[in-house]
């Protein structure tokens, strides 16, 4: 999988000029840089385009075209980079519990764990606005902080739960049994997420990008601009406003969004 990986192009994309030895500092630095430069977005699904997880397609979209993607794309690309540098990432699946109880959610989230320097860490660059920007120790309640965000892992019976806190609000993000998964498992899950009529990704705009001032999050028409001095909320008037927002905050222009059809936004139909 790493044979055709263009590390120089990836490093240029995330503006990484740090070390490449398989250390915790390298892992943390790469994750921070990756999440700063490659946004979370599901626009190809809404445009009816296939979401491919082969390395050539991922590099073409996330690296060369300057686009973003969702969990399978982020985690698959990041795992390939880590493997090329001598890390041994393990691929896992989780049930996202932000919108419904775990019993109602399929295992359609992909994240990684990495053992380094005598400890094991959760690495999840594709969890959108709740993505931890630093590795999270796989240890009961051992929290990490960056800016106003805080993340920690906790046991709940036979599963591990990723918790996230932004400001004063804490949420349970996903639950996992930490089984090791194979790439084919994510091909199946990706097919469901990208094509099933009930998939959230088929019915909602979901975008998140780190900015120099903080972060910009989009859920359908609702936009939240987070800065150090507070948050601003606004609504996208139309598809042209969405295209302009992508260019301003997400680093790419996508003319096709001006014909985007989103079931959850009836005002645009």
Q: Which residues are catalytic?
A: 71, 109, 124
In the three-class reduction of DSSP (H, G, I as helix; E, B as strand; rest coil), residue 163 is classed as strand
Distance CA 139, CA 110 (A): 19
Task: For residue 92, give the 3-state DSSP assignment.
Answer: strand
Map residue 215 onto helix, strand or coil: strand
| Structure letter (DSSP) for residue 133 | S
d(CA 30, CA 11): 9
For 29, 104, 147, 150, 151, the CA distances from 119, given in Å and listed in that order, are: 17, 32, 24, 19, 17
* Residue with tokens 């900015």, as numbered in its chain: 211
Rg (CA), the chain: 18
Strand order in the sheet with 206-211: 40-41, 206-211, 214-219, 222-227, 230-235
Q: Give the HSE-up count for residue 179: Cα atoms under 13 Å, Cβ half-sphere.
A: 11
**Count of other CB atoms within 10 angstroms of residue 246:** 22
| CA geometry: angle 133, 167, 204, nearest 5 deg | 70
> Using an 8 Å Cβ cutoff, are 243 and 257 in contact?
yes
For residues 98 and 166, is the Cβ–Cβ distance under 8 A?
no
Cβ pair 181, 93 in contact under 8 A: yes
């Amino acid at each position: 999988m790493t044979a055709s990986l263009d590390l120089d192009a990836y490093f240029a994309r995330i503006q990484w000029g740090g070390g490449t030895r398989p250390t915790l500092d390298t892992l943390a630095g790469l994750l921070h840089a990756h999440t700063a430069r490659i946004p979370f977005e599901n626009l190809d699904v809404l445009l009816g385009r296939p979401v491919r997880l082969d390395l050539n397609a991922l590099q073409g979209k996330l690296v060369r075209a300057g686009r973003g993607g969702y969990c399978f794309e982020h985690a698959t690309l990041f795992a390939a980079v880590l493997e090329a540098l001598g890390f041994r990432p393990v691929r896992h699946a989780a049930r996202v519990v932000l919108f419904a109880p775990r019993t109602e959610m399929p295992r359609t989230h992909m994240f990684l764990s990495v053992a380094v320097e005598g400890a094991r860490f959760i690495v999840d660059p594709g969890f959108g606005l709740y993505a931890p920007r630093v590795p999270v120790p796989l240890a009961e309640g051992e929290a990490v902080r960056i800016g106003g965000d805080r993340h920690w892992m906790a046991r709940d019976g036979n599963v591990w739960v990723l918790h996230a806190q932004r400001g004063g609000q804490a949420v349970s993000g996903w639950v996992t049994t930490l089984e090791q998964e194979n790439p084919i498992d994510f091909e199946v899950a990706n097919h469901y997420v990208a094509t099933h009529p009930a998939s959230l990704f088929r019915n909602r705009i979901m975008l998140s990008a780190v900015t120099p001032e903080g972060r910009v999050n989009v859920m359908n028409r609702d936009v939240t601009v987070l800065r150090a001095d507070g948050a601003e909320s606004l609504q996208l008037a139309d598809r042209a406003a969405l295209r302009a927002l992508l260019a301003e905050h997400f680093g790419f222009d996508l003319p096709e969004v001006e014909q985007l059809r989103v079931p959850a936004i009836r005002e645009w139909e």
